[in-house]
Chains A and B, each alone.
Chain A
Amino acid sequence: QKEVEQDPGPLSVPEGAIVSLNCTYSNSAFQYFMWYRQYSRKGPELLMYTYSSGNKEDGRFTAQVDKSSKYISLFIRDSQPSDSATYLCGPYAGNMLTFGGGTRLMVKP
């Protein structure tokens, strides 16, 4: 079993839709939880990070962590074609940032 699991997609939605991206993990030692966005042929860029269980909002993006069930979510409101990318969840413990395989999102105009 992988430490971090994500549905690879692709997830295709119309512009303006609410998108839910999810991630499960198995290691209870993970303390920080990060979401990265990766456009084609680019390096991942940090989108959001959170430390505790609960919600964290930043503009159209909301990160949600449930440590009891080891479940991480990223919600995107009013999705735009520019949101089309691969989204990677990255639980973090010590010096090890462990990535999920990523979910490819396509937002169609």
Chain B
Amino acid sequence: EAQVTQNPRYLITVTGKKLTVTCSQNMNHEYMSWYRQDPGLGLRQIYYSMNVEVTDKGDVPEGYKVSRKEKRNFPLILESPSPNQTSLYFCASSRGSAYGYTFGSGTRLTVV
């Protein structure tokens, strides 16, 4: 089944403790992206990647890092999480501009 898989689905952590949210897609898509979704603010792009070793900032990149060492994986790294990064995170992939994104099921992160 074609899908984007995120892990974990739920995560509660403490301020300052580094964490990684993994994302993997099995569709051989070149484009991958991370979004966060907050009430009243909608979905906002954090980082995106056009291909292996090619990443760029989205609208809200502060406090996040990404890497794209393999085509299928695009992990999101929070080096020092803070409470304002409490949010619902989505990873997405696409085969090109005109085809839209396939989204993962989301990771609900709480930073206390």
Q: Which residues of A contact B (CB under 8 A)?
A: 8, 31-32, 34, 36, 41-46, 49, 51, 88, 90, 92, 94-102
Contacts and interface: CB of A to CB of B under 8 A. Distances in A.
Given A88-B43, A99-B42, A32 B106 contact: no
Interface stretch (B14-22, B60-68, B97-105): B97-105
Contacts of A88: 42-43
A94 B100 CA distance: 12
Given A92-B100, A100-B42, 8 more contacts: A34-B100, A42-B106, A43-B90, A43-B105, A44-B101, A49-B99, A88-B43, A97-B100
Interface string B49-64: 0100000101000000
Contact of B103 (A8, A31, A43, A94): A43
Nearest to A100: B42
Contacts of A45: 103
B42 A95 contact: no
B2 interface: no
B56 A95 contact: yes
A48 B47 CA distance: 24
Contacts of A43: 4, 90, 92, 103-106
B41 A101 contact: yes
9 contacts: A36-B100, A43-B106, A46-B100, A46-B101, A51-B98, A95-B48, A96-B45, A97-B100, A102-B42
A100 B62 CA distance: 21
B33 to A, nearest CB: 7
A98 B104 CA distance: 17
Nearest to B105: A43
Interface in B61-105: 90, 92, 97-105
Contacts of A8: 40
A95 B100 contact: no
B106 A97 contact: no
A101 B40 contact: yes
Contacts of A101: 40-42
